[in-house]
Amino acid sequence: MNREDIISKIQKLIRLQMNAEKIGSEGEAFQAAKMVKKLLFEYNLSMSDIGDDEEKPSVKINQSMDFGTTDIYGNWWKKNLMSVICENHLCNVYIRSNGKMFIIGAEDNVAIVKEFYIYLTKVFRRLSLEAFNKAQNNAMVQGKRYTEHGMRKYMRSYLEGCVYGLDQNYQSMKPTSEETGLVVCHNQMIDEYLKNKDFIINEGNQRKRRKPDLMYDAFLEGEKDGKEVSLNQQLNGGNSNKTKRIS
């Protein structure tokens, strides 16, 4: 293909990505964005080469609302969940001094991150309760029972496992190192946006690490579900009564 054909194909993919995002088809939007990155790299192009000023898709950097991190089962899993999602959708997450977090990135990407975070939080909480009830039933068969403390530790371990599994889930469909040109571009735009802000923040994109104090079996169960939760189906606000799995 000649240069004009390549540019035309990239423009079509960008329009496909934007339309997919508008209707909530996150998997289709992700794949379109992945193809844009691949073509830009292969043909040594940048976004400034794609169309004239009127045709270029405008990119507006936006800041999300604040998200609370307080949770009965600990806040580590929520912070790390947001970090994983942001890393894979060209956004950064920041932590305020009061512990709340917010997202900065391209307007469309921020909307995607917000939707994924709300959706996956609901799904993982629901699955954690199902997993605990199953574990409690198995324990009762053996004449045992989880205490309140044991239940909280199980749920926390499961949820942290979900986030770990989700990260691996993303890695299985992540663009190669050669397709990450847009990451640098978006980070530069975010840095420019932050220059005009006067708030003090801590960057939260680096996932938190600590000494493990987890139930191994619960963590592994959560990891398995995190690997299998669907990232390709259209989001429906987490209202489905069925577990979303990759087919």
**63 shares its domain with 11:** no
Number of domains in the chain: 2
- In this predicted structure, the answer to whether residue 75 has a pLDDT above a threshold of 50 is yes
Looking at 42, 58, 74, the residue that finishes a domain is 58
- In this predicted structure, the answer to whether residue 238 has a pLDDT above a threshold of 60 is no
Looking at 20, 37, 58, the residue that finishes a domain is 58
| Bridge partners, residue 91, by sequence | 105
Looking at 58, 77, 96, the residue that finishes a domain is 58
**74 shares its domain with 136:** yes
**135 shares its domain with 159:** yes
**20 shares its domain with 64:** no
**115 shares its domain with 237:** yes
**85 shares its domain with 6:** no
Return the closest-CA partner of residue 162 out of 103, 84, 67, 69. Answer: 84
**70 shares its domain with 133:** yes
Provide the residue range defining the domain that includes 46: 1-58
**13 shares its domain with 69:** no
CB 194 within 8 A of CB 132: no
**116 shares its domain with 223:** yes
Tell me how far CA of residue 43 lies from CA of 5, 27, 39, 208, in angstroms.
Answer: 11, 25, 6, 38
CB 100 within 8 A of CB 82: no
CB 103 within 8 A of CB 92: yes
Q: Which of 28-37, 189-198, 236-245 has the lowest mean pLDDT?
A: 236-245
**94 shares its domain with 111:** yes
What's the pLDDT score for residue 171?
A: 82
- What percent of the chain is modeled with pLDDT above 70? 67
**125 shares its domain with 226:** yes
Confidence of residue 27 (pLDDT cuts 50, 70, 90): low
127: exposed, middle or buried (Cβ count in 10 Å: 0-12, 13-18, 19+) = buried
Dist. CA 151–CA 156, nearest whole Å = 9
Q: What share of the chain is helix, strand, coil (3-state, %, to 5)?
A: 60, 10, 35
Residue 137's CB is within 10 A of a number of other CB atoms, namely 9
**134 shares its domain with 12:** no
What's the pLDDT score for residue 182?
A: 52
pTM, 2 dp? 0.67
Return the closest-CA partner of residue 232 out of 187, 190, 172, 177. Answer: 172
CB 159 within 8 A of CB 222: yes
**Per-residue pLDDT reduced to its tens digit, 187-227:** 666 777 667 665 545 555 555 555 568 899 999 999 999 99
